[in-house]
A and B are shown apart, each in its own frame.
Chain A
């Protein structure tokens, strides 16, 4: 972190810096400037001082010479109530490959309360080592304290690669950590590899709603950071006989954390959440009436899947926004995606076209959804859905 102090021998108490501070974080006491607690370490005051009396140290960046000091692949062990998110297990699978190619260890960073059994799970899924920070204040994800500890660990152990799931938490924590370390971060990768010559991470991600792919590198800064979409990488089969080291690092647990998580509320009553579901049944305007969503829900229940929705149905108030799939909703990548009465606007396709198998059911044979569909059924969803429910009910028992 950056630091600031007033060199009192040089300070004349001229008050120029007070005007130079955008945050009203400087006052003059007994003819000397004093930096107050609300200072954000922005450094704006430095140039306002005519006497070079402000000593400001910028955030450091990793120099070329230091790059060699960074070794190892890390995965952020995002957890809820002590259970690692599925994407963490997937990242350990990919991380194992990358670490083996680089011939370095694969580690996981686990923060939370009573994390012992989660740490063992991570080892069984491929981690050589788990950095475990166990503290009651870390039970729930907290942007501020998690960032603080993660940065301490990176500075201490210097990993060359840090991977996080592109989840709500991962997409918030990763940019905060990368920004503090002034290193590069690539969002929502769908492919990771190692450049065999330069030994650097090749990060491939979709842009423009998946219409363009870009491969990105971070050659001169460390660690190389990426978030990875859930359901893209493959977890290894867990092996409980694998051994690994659980390290309880000596870190400072942040006190007086400003951000407070007051309540955690679950609103999706279904067993599986959309982004981690293997099967998703989504409904669109073709259902004709909000009450027909019951058919979508029933098929999802029979198949053990989650319920998705098109933007049109959410905007019309048929179903809650948390179900929306597409560019302004959630990006999903299940094994099987049912689009029931969804025409397939490009914004919707952007959120689900990476699904392994897409089944489109639509009255209109020219609907764009059929262009991405593995299997297409031209027909009335109100007839096809009940037939599917009946068929799968009898076949799946």
Chain B
């Protein structure tokens, strides 16, 4: 099987520090990690490779230093890693990101399955997976918690829903986005780490992948951020004292008086 996994670099923490003068996010000094959801996508790709043979290629779009994060995936037994990096990609929204990824994936050649994490932990949009599938003209299923079977050019998987799951079948090539329930990611092996050291991470520009620059980055993004602000949580905390019974009674008084719950 030829598997492609899309990954994104995200900040290691969601605690946002804002430069009060410029009102922009301070990114310096914040550790960069692979989006936690993408680690499940990588693991699932590797498990499929272990089972069916083939190749796992990781692809990302980002600043040049993301190449070092991709190197870490080689240590996990990923075969190849490609970074799309170009000034033309900067400021991309999910549509422009999907377009660039679709062009990079086309350059990689034929594939059977694309795996993405459910969403990225910084933007939380969950949009790039489905949007990318559309750009490639292939079917997709989101929130996959289990691959039941891959057989005869078809994939059958379980998609998590609000109150359970559904079993979805689609022909390959296809795209899935995965939730953390699907597996437990492995740790890098010593052999893998040696290989990762020597691995060459391909870096492709917009021209390399034949991307139309008008559809990339800020230019290719229909959405624009007009304002960012830090939400004000003016929580008036009230501590409830007393024995457990007293606390329970006081809390019930307060909640029932707020009419969130009605006495029968």
Contact = CB atoms under 8 A, between A and B. Distances in A.
B164 A179 contact: no
Contacts of B260: 278-279, 335-336, 356-357
Interface string B228-264: 1111010111111000110111011011101011011
B251 A359 contact: yes
Interface stretch (B47-55, B79-87, B154-162): B154-162
A168 B162 contact: yes
A184 B222 CA distance: 5
Interface string A215-235: 111111100000000000000
Interface stretch (A5-13, A262-270, A288-296): A262-270
Nearest to B134: A179
B229 A213 contact: yes
Given A258-B139, A262-B169, A336-B260, A211 B240 contact: no
A266 B167 CA distance: 11
Contact of B180 (A182, A263, A328, A353): A328
B190 interface: no
B123 A373 contact: no
Given A22-B110, A186-B223, A373 B251 contact: no
Contacts of A210: 14, 231
A375 B238 contact: yes
Secondary structure type dominating chain B contacts: mixed
A236 B153 CA distance: 48
Nearest to A276: B162
B142 interface: yes
Interface in A350-390: 350, 353, 356-359, 370-380, 383-384, 386-388, 390
Contacts of A144: 139
B140 A379 contact: no
Given A22-B110, A209-B121, A375-B240, A218 B102 contact: no
Contacts of A184: 93, 95, 221-223
Contacts of B164: 264-268, 322
Most chain B CB within 10 A, of A173, A174, A185, A336, is at A185
A379 to B, nearest CB: 6
Given A214-B227, A261-B166, A395-B256, A172 B142 contact: yes
Interface string A305-341: 0000000000000000110000110000001100000
Give the size range of B's interface with the partner.
35 or more
A188 interface: yes
Interface stretch (B57-65, B125-133, B197-205): B125-133
Interface of A: 22-24, 39-42, 44, 47, 140, 143-144, 147, 167-169, 171-176, 178-180, 182-188, 202, 206-221, 258-268, 273-276, 278-279, 303, 321-322, 327-328, 335-336, 346-347, 350, 353, 356-359, 370-380, 383-384, 386-388, 390-392, 395-397
Interface of B: 11, 13-16, 18, 25, 36-37, 93-95, 98, 102, 106-110, 121-143, 145, 156, 159-171, 173, 179-181, 210, 221-231, 233, 235-240, 244-245, 247-249, 251-252, 254-256, 258, 260-261, 263-264
10 contacts: A168-B160, A184-B223, A187-B124, A188-B124, A207-B123, A215-B225, A218-B224, A262-B167, A276-B162, A392-B252
Given A328-B36, A347-B14, 13 more contacts: A144-B139, A171-B126, A185-B95, A187-B125, A206-B124, A207-B123, A208-B122, A211-B230, A212-B231, A215-B225, A335-B260, A373-B237, A383-B244
Shortest beta-carbon contacts, A-B, top 9: A184-B222, A40-B137, A387-B248, A209-B14, A187-B125, A184-B223, A179-B134, A397-B264, A179-B131
